[in-house]
Chains A and B, each alone.
Chain A
Amino acid sequence: MKKPFDILGKLFIVFLIVLWLAPLIWLVITSLKSENTVMSDTLSLVFTPTLENYRKAFASTLLGRWMLNSLTVAVVTTILTVLIDSAMAYVLARIPFRGRKALFIFILAGMMIPFEVLIIQLYLEFTTLGLANTLAAVILPRLALPIGVFILTQFFRSIPLVLEEAAFIDGASRFTVFRTIILPLSKSAVFAVAIIAFINAWNDFLWPLVAISSSEKYTITVGIANFQGTHGTEYSLIMAGALLASVPQIIMYLLFRKNIVKSIAMTGIKE
């Protein structure tokens, strides 16, 4: 026999799930309505769905371009972050030298630097470098990911030394060992860092907003934020754009949900 408390608890869970899904359902519904239906028949769930807003989002806005920009930024950032951070982690985990501990602390201290307080200085720096208003400016400050170095260093340390020693005896260089032994054995940690780097890069908002000034170079986040200004009351178009802007993350989430959750739990990073 079920206790009344159990039923109440179940109802509460269902309520919470519905509450959390409702905004997303509302987003999808709005994006499938025609501009007129949105205004005249806002709440109704019975309507003739149209893909017109999606067509329009691609045809009459720069959305396709912004998504391409974001994809470029996210992919390049992810690849370079993994390469640069894992190389650094290799030194910290495997090459002993005087001052290594201090270097490790120096790098971990970076976790305490909030990106938000650097925007003025970074803007001036990139202007001086002649890189303002380029995608490179969006990418470069994201490559040093201290939490990524931390995760990779910890992981590399857990790999038994035996394999490397055998390779060194055979005359392998550190680079070969790193490429053929360490990295292949660290797939899970590398993947976790790649996920964090990709999500950070795709969702980054404040810095691209500052760094990019011409609309054809916007990343999708900046483009969507500006949608409201340029398409004021075309809510169904705006929602179609917002949904399209989220497609890569939603696909990633569906494919790698477990890994994403695990890397979040592992790092406790937060943007």
Chain B
Amino acid sequence: MLLHGADHKKRDILFFSLPYLTVYVAFMVFPVVYGFYLSFFDWNILSTKVFVGLKNYVEAFSDPEFLSSFFHTIQFVVISTPLIIVVGFIMALIAVRPTKTGRISETVFFLPYMLSTSVVGTLWAWIFQKNYGLANQLLKSVGLSPLGWLTDPSIAMTSIIIATLWWTAGFNMILFSAGMKQIPEEIYDAAKIDGAGSFTTLTKITIPLLRDTSLLVLVLQIIASFKVFGQVYVMTGGGPYGTTRVLVQYVYKTGFSYFRLGYASAMSILLFMVILLVSVIQFLRKPDETQ
């Protein structure tokens, strides 16, 4: 069949897909495979690779620095996830309305998400600065004693979570309000006729009908939280006393400060497994009955 240039089909497939497949395989697929491979070796860039089997994985689970980094990451995930989702949901309720307030809110709430991690980290490091930062200045002005936002081990992680909340809640707002816009107006009209108040409408219509969106938001948020790095690196550098050091940062440190590449790869793979597990949840959900 000449219609689709069948004579050049093979050539065309190669021509169109080769550039993508080259970068995809070289810089995404290969590194995954290579990471698996490296994780079975003991190797600091100067020495020769020595095959050690599962030793790196075993070591991770008895390495206090790995365990504490893992714990801090979990801590970050568990606290930040519900917070960022709930705030994003409330924002969506405000922003979804087709009023001027709605538009202004959406613009303002999403704006921080446009900024890069390092700008956000730098800004909040300044806000939480001990002597001159906004947070402590405000505390002092109402007669309270200043806090060591980034220097007190018991609150440094909270400060990072506050910065992250400000930065990323707008992202969840967008997903939620996209979901809300798909709920047919008639359902709300019918509820109104039946005399349902706004709270009933929220709990009986909006929230149940956003089930799929909520699951997507939840999965994306957990994954993003597991990958936390930039704001921690900039705001605290993992301190004070390693109390905010997270997994990605420990991988970075093991790889590029200790040059233990096999061990760092093994930890990367462990993080990958966790993230993969979370992604899979999304595919296991019950298929939507309406489809």
Q: A residues within 8 Å of B by Cβ?
A: 10, 13, 16-17, 20-24, 26-27, 30, 38-39, 42-43, 83-85, 87-88, 90-91, 95, 97, 103, 107, 110, 112-114, 116-125, 140-141, 143-144, 146, 149, 165, 168-169, 173-175, 178, 199, 202-203, 205-206, 209-210, 220-222, 224-225, 227-228, 235, 238-239, 242, 245-246, 249-250, 252-253, 257, 260-261, 264-265, 268, 270-271
Q: How far is B133's CA from A39's CA once the two chains are assembled, in angstroms? A: 9
Report whether over half of chain A's contact residues are helix, strand or loop; otherwise say mixed: helix
Q: Across the interface, which residues of B come within 8 angstroms of A38, CB to CB?
A: 132
Q: Which 4 A-B pairs have the closest CB atoms?
A: A88-B20, A265-B178, A121-B31, A144-B24
Q: List 30 A-B contacts (CB under 8 A).
A: A16-B90, A16-B109, A84-B20, A87-B15, A95-B12, A110-B24, A110-B29, A116-B268, A118-B27, A119-B251, A120-B268, A124-B34, A124-B261, A125-B34, A143-B27, A144-B20, A144-B27, A203-B117, A221-B230, A222-B118, A225-B122, A227-B122, A238-B126, A242-B122, A245-B118, A250-B111, A252-B114, A257-B107, A261-B110, A268-B220
Which of B137, B168, B265 is in CB contact (< 8 Å) with A42?
Answer: B137
Which B198-228 residues have a C-beta within 8 angstroms of A? 216, 220-221, 223-224, 227
Smallest CB–CB gap between B165 and chain A, Å?
Answer: 10
Which of B123, B174, B272 is in CB contact (< 8 Å) with A117?
Answer: B272
Report whether over half of chain B's contact residues are helix, strand or loop; otherwise say mixed: helix
Give the A-B contact count at a CB cut-off of 8 A.
260
Q: Across the interface, which residues of A come within 8 angstroms of B149, CB to CB?
A: none
Q: Are A265's CB and B116's CB within 8 A?
A: no
* 0/1 interface trace, chain B 22-52, chain A, CB 8 Å (1 if under): 0110111111101100100000000000000
Q: Across the interface, which residues of B come within 8 angstroms of A252, CB to CB?
A: 114
Which of B20, B27, B248 is in CB contact (< 8 Å) with A140?
Answer: B27
Take A17-B104, A120-B35, A206-B230 as given contacts and tell me if A144 and B271 are in contact as well, using a CB distance cutoff of 8 Å: no
Q: Across the interface, which residues of B come within 8 angstroms of A173, CB to CB?
A: 5, 8, 12
Q: Are A206's CB and B252's CB within 8 A?
A: yes
Q: Are B13's CB and A95's CB within 8 A?
A: yes
Take A173-B8, A225-B234, A235-B126 as given contacts and tell me if A246 and B115 are in contact as well, using a CB distance cutoff of 8 Å: yes
Residue of B with least CB distance to A83: B19
Q: Across the interface, which residues of B come within 8 angstroms of A146, CB to CB?
A: 24
Q: Are A246's CB and B119's CB within 8 A?
A: yes
Smallest CB–CB gap between B277 and chain A, Å?
Answer: 11
Q: Are A85's CB and B20's CB within 8 A?
A: yes
- Is the interface on chain B under 10, 10 to 19, 20 to 34, or 35 or more residues? 35 or more
Q: Across the interface, which residues of B come within 8 angstroms of A227, CB to CB?
A: 122
Q: How far is B227's CA from A116's CA once the two chains are assembled, in angstroms? A: 7
